[in-house]
Amino acid sequence: MTLKIGICTKSDLDEAMKLQKREQYEEERKSRIFNAKQRLYGLDLDTLERQILEKKKQQSDQITRDKLFEEQEQLQKRLILAQERELEKKQRVADSDLNYYRCRYQQKEQRREFDLNDPNYLKKARPTRIADDDIALGVSSAQIFHGEDLFNSERKVRQREQQRAWLDQQIAERKQAKEARKQAENMLMDSVVCRDKLLLEMAKSDHMMRNQVIQRTREFNMNMAKQKQLDRDRAKREKYEDDMAEIYNMLSSDMLTENPDVAQSKTDPNKKIAFMYRGMTPEELRVFRLGQEQQLRLSTQRKVEAQMMDKQWEQYAINMDRTLVLQQIDVDRQRKAQFDELMRANAKLAVEQDQQRKDAMIALSNAVSDDFYDQFNKNSR
C-alpha cells in the first residue's frame, strides 16, 4: 500500500506504518468476527438452547391446552345433548299426562251444558204424560192430545194375536186352494187327452189333403217348366241371329276397317275424332320422331349444364370450407396466444400480489428490518 503523504520525517513514517498496520489488523479481525460461518466465539449457545426448549415447551403446552379445550367442548356438547333429550322426554311425559287428563276428565259427557247439546236428548227424555192421571201434570196442564199412543204395549199384544189368527186362516185357505188345484189339474189332464185324440184325427185328414195339393202343384210346375224351356230356346235362337248380324255389321264398319277419312273432323281440319282415330301416317310418324330426337338433345344438353353447375357449386363449397377452416385455425391460434399472454400476465400479477402480501405481513407484524442490525458491530471492540 502506498502512503500518500508530503514531506515527513522518519518518526512520521513509523507512526503512519503503525496506524496502517492497526487498521489492517482491525479489518482482518472484523472479517473473522462478523463471518457467521467461520467465527468460533460470540454465540450464547446455552441461551439459544434454553430458548429452543422454552419454545418447544410453549408449543407442547399450546397443544395440551387445545386438546383440553376440545375435550371440554365435546363434554359440553354431550351435556347439552343430554339436557335436550331430558327436556324432550319431560315434554313428552307432560303431553301424555295432559292428553290422559283430557281423555279422562274432560269428556263431552262431563260438561255442565252437555244436556243442551246431547244428540240423544229426545231418546232419553221422559214422556210428557204417562197417563191421564199422571201426578206430574198440574191443574192447568192438558190431559189428552191427538196422536198420543198410551196403550202401545196392549195394542201390540192384540196385533200379534190378530196376526196369529190371520196366519191360521191363510194356512187353511192355502190347503183348500191346493186341493182345488189338484182337482183342476185332473180335469185338465182329461181334457188334454180328449184334445190330443181330436188333433190326431185332424192331422191325418190334413196330411191327406196336403198330399193332394202337393201332387197337383207338382203337375202344374212341370207344365210351367216345359213352357219356360220352350221360351228360352226361342229367345236363345233369336239372340244368336241378332249377334251374328251385329258381328257382320261391325266387321264391315269403318272403325274396324280403319278408314282414315272417317276420323277427320268436319268442323276443324286440324282436329281428329278420338274414338275413330287409328294412328298416324308414316309422314306424321317421321315428323313426330324428329321432334322427339330434338327434345332428347335439348334434355341431354340441360342435364350436362346442370351437372357442370353442380360441380362448380361443389368446388365453390369446398373452397369456402377450406377458407373457413383456415380462418378458424388462425382464430384458434390467436385465441391461444391471447390465452398464453393472459396466463403470463396472471402469473406475473400473482407473483406481485404475493410479494405485496408478504410486504404487508412484514409491515403489519412489526418485524425488525436489516437496518436495525446494521447499526451494530461496526467495529470489533
> Which pLDDT does position 44 carry in this prediction?
59
Q: Where are the strands (E) in 128-239, listed by range?
A: none
> Which pLDDT does position 70 carry in this prediction?
92
- What is the pLDDT tens value at each position of the chain, 381 positions in all? 444 545 668 788 888 888 888 888 888 887 777 665 555 555 556 777 888 899 999 999 999 999 999 999 999 999 999 999 999 999 999 999 999 998 888 888 888 888 888 888 888 877 666 666 667 776 666 666 666 666 777 888 889 999 999 999 999 999 998 998 888 888 888 888 888 888 888 888 888 888 888 888 888 889 888 888 998 898 998 888 888 888 887 777 666 666 666 666 777 767 776 666 666 777 878 888 898 999 999 999 999 999 999 999 989 888 888 889 999 999 999 999 999 999 988 888 888 888 888 887 777 666 666 776 677 666 655
| Residue 127: C-alpha distances to residues 118, 123, 131, 135, 148 (Å) | 17, 10, 10, 13, 10
Q: Measured on CA atoms in the order 140, 141, 142, 143, is the torsion positive or negative?
A: negative
Return d(Cα 188, Cα 21) in angstroms, integer: 177
Contact 256/275 with Cβ under 8 angstroms? no
Return d(Cα 212, Cα 206) in angstroms, integer: 10
Beta bridge pairs of residue 217 = none
Helix/strand/coil percentages in the chain, nearest 5: 75, 0, 25
Return d(Cα 90, Cα 361) in angstroms, integer: 55
Contact 33/42 with Cβ under 8 angstroms? yes
Instruction: Please state the pTM of the whole predicted model.
Output: 0.24
Integer-rounded Cα Rg, in Å, for the chain is 72
C-alpha cell at 171: 194356512
Contact 273/264 with Cβ under 8 angstroms? yes
> Which pLDDT does position 1 carry in this prediction?
44
> Which pLDDT does position 96 carry in this prediction?
93
> Which pLDDT does position 111 carry in this prediction?
84
